[in-house]
């Protein structure tokens, strides 16, 4: 079985993230969406809220959603996943992800990175931009699934 991990903070999950999840789930037998606890980023949503938003937004039974707080390569190894999915929007993403992949390869030579370019309609999209728009009471419905839109409205009442 080919199992892959797609990790991120997903604060909140965007349509760009869902694009990567959907397309990756067609390539692998199982895809684990690994939601990083990452308290250094001070997420707007709790780990459980972020997991819930993804679970309610993904249709495929091949996709599992789990939180993690350790090294990504350790999480992948625990889950018997040999592939880490890296979503790319722009060259700046590639530089950062290339560095992370190199570090991960040094930590665990059995795990490979698999790069997926996001759909061009999501090149500009990030969770940070979505949160900024929502905080200013802007419409985010074209950027996030409905569950995330609802939760953003609740946070920024």
For the cut 80, the answer to whether the pLDDT of residue 90 exceeds it is no
**Could you read off the pLDDT of 31-67 as tens digits, one per residue?**
999 999 977 878 999 999 999 999 999 989 999 999 9
Whether 150 is catalytic is no
Cα dihedral angle (16, 21, 27, 28), rounded to 10 degrees?
160
Among 2, 41, 78, 137, the one annotated catalytic: 41
The mean per-residue pLDDT over the stretch 19-27 comes to: 96
- Domains defined for the chain, CATH in brackets: 3-155 (3.40.50.620)
d(CA 28, CA 3): 6
Whether 41 is catalytic is yes
Q: What is the pTM of this model?
A: 0.94
Whether 17 is catalytic is yes
State the DSSP code for 121. Answer: G
d(CA 34, CA 117): 19
Among 50, 86, 89, 151, the one annotated catalytic: 89
């Amino acid at each position: 079985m080919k199992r892959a991990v797609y990790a991120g903070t997903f604060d909140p999950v965007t349509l760009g993230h869902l694009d990567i999840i959907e397309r990756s789930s067609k390539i692998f037998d199982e895809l684990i969406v690994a939601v990083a606890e990452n308290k250094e980023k001070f997420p707007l949503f709790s780990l459980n809220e972020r997991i819930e938003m993804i679970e309610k937004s993904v249709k495929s039974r091949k996709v599992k959603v789990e939180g993690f707080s350790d090294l990504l390569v350790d999480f992948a190894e625990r889950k018997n996943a040999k592939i880490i999915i890296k979503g790319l929007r722009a060259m700046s993403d590639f530089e950062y992800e290339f560095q992370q992949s190199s570090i991960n390869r040094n930590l665990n030579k059995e795990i490979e990175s698999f790069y997926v370019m996001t759909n061009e309609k999501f090149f500009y999209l990030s969770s940070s931009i979505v949160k900024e728009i929502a905080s200013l009471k802007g419409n985010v419905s074209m950027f996030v699934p409905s569950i995330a839109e609802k939760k953003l409205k609740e946070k920024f009442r």
